[in-house]
Amino acid sequence: MAKRIGILTSGGDCAGLNAVIRAVVQRAVESYGWRVLGIRQGTMGLMARPVEADELDLGVTSSMILRQGGTILGTTNKGDPFAFPMADGRTLDRSNEVIEGCRLLGLDALIGIGGDGSFAILRRMAQQGGINLVGIPKTIDNDLGLTESSIGYDTAVAVATEALDRLQPTAASHSRVMILEVMGRDAGHIAIAAGIAGGADVVLIPEIPWTLAHVKAKIERIKAQGRNFALVVVAEAVKTEEGQAVTSNISAEQLRYGGVGHRVGAAIAGATGAETRVMVLGHVQRGGPPTANDRLLSSAFGVYAVDLIAAGKFDRMVAWRNREIVDVPIAEAIAHYQAVDPNGTLVRTARGLGICLGDRP
Ligand code: F6P
């Protein structure tokens, strides 16, 4: 039977979202003869009246959007419908309006592309409103459980690695210690992966407490060995030596990491006398064309998500495990938050390469 499915992107954008949208439309329209409605700005589009959604037809399946960063649907990482911030400072439960939005669109199923925060909201909404939900994992932070990779992560790592490629020659030219602060929210996945791929000397991640004494010893050893520069990667959620997270409050609803790189840079300069420069990489890690790997993951996830709907399997998230796509319960993916394993392969690799992780010289 012909179905009508909705698709939305939720939470922070990343590279690869458009590649998923393309794959979903291709599979649903071309293979199954269904209709696909693209919902604007995540749940905000479902809350709006009239509901903000447009039919996505084969026009979006050209390879043009496959390589395009961002999301053609728009997204939001604020405005939780269960605690929606009102102009007067109160929060209101507007979840029923969002559920009603799905009914108004006449959806048989909804594909949500998000991270753990978005999935928690979408799943609660789906349970409350009897919506047939399928989830596709995306987050540059790569901290969702039960999937080895989420869309956007590979591109973020590639961008951070390229940043190190560009920082190294200028560091060597000026005999400097370069500090690169990368995103990742509470997880250090981007930092450790890019640190290894980009030849960092020091990588600080939130999962491993650090001391300045160890970093100082490493920088001094590099100097004693005759090298005139060093590369340091710092994940944004790393705490200062005093144990403080460096954040800024954008609004009551939004707390953002950012700036610990400057604190680490100043500490290294003070302790070693080295000239330091700090680069906060920020949102360039999320924009731009997706890597080949992210395009592959997005395409495979999109096709599989539509097939799950065809098979009548809901409340499932598509996942990449052991070189295959599988589906797992959304609730379990949220419950198994995936930080960097301090004894895992990448940490062992980094140590094996002599990279200082701040807990030993
Ligand atoms: O979760 C993705 C992410 O890019 C984090 O790595 C980062 O801390 C945060 O989003 C930034 O959010 P915003 O786009 O609201 O500044």
pLDDT, one tens digit per residue, over 95-130 is: 999 999 999 999 999 999 999 999 999 999 999 999
Ligand 1 atom at shortest distance from the alpha carbon of 190: 6
What pLDDT does residue 185 have?
96
Distance 32 CA to ligand 1 centre (A): 36
| Residues 72-97 pLDDT 10s | 999 999 889 999 999 998 999 999 99
Look up 327 and say whether it is catalytic: no
Distance 44 CA to ligand 1 centre (A): 19
Q: Do domains 4-151+288-321 and 155-285+341-352 have the same CATH topology?
A: yes
What pLDDT does residue 361 have?
84
Q: Does residue 197 register a pLDDT over 90?
A: yes
What pLDDT does residue 253 have?
66
% of the chain with per-residue pLDDT over 90 = 94
**Is 354 buried (19+), middle (13-18) or exposed (0-12) by CB count in 10 A?**
exposed
Average pLDDT over residues 61-67: 91
| Residues 337-347 pLDDT 10s | 999 999 999 99
- List the chain domain ranges: 4-151+288-321, 155-285+341-352
Q: Does residue 276 register a pLDDT over 90?
A: yes
Whole-model pTM? 0.97
Identify the CATH class of 155-285+341-352: alpha beta
% of the chain with per-residue pLDDT over 70 = 99
Average pLDDT over residues 120-144: 98
Euclidean distance between CA atoms 34 and 205, whole angstroms: 45
Ligand 1 atom at shortest distance from the alpha carbon of 184: 6
What pLDDT does residue 196 have?
99
Ligand 1 atom at shortest distance from the alpha carbon of 285: 4
Q: Does residue 252 register a pLDDT over 70?
A: no
Looking at the domain that runs over 4-151+288-321, which CATH code has it been given? Answer: 3.40.50.450
What pLDDT does residue 2 have?
84
Average pLDDT over residues 298-307: 98
Nearest CA to ligand 1 atom 10: 12
Q: What average pLDDT is seen over the chain?
A: 97
Selected catalytic residue, list 116, 141, 143, 154: 141
What pLDDT does residue 61 have?
85
Ligand 1 site, CB within 6 A? 12, 77, 139-141, 183-185, 236, 256-257, 286
| Residues 13-49 pLDDT 10s | 999 999 999 999 999 999 999 999 999 999 999 999 9
Q: Does residue 358 register a pLDDT over 90?
A: yes
Distance 280 CA to ligand 1 centre (A): 13
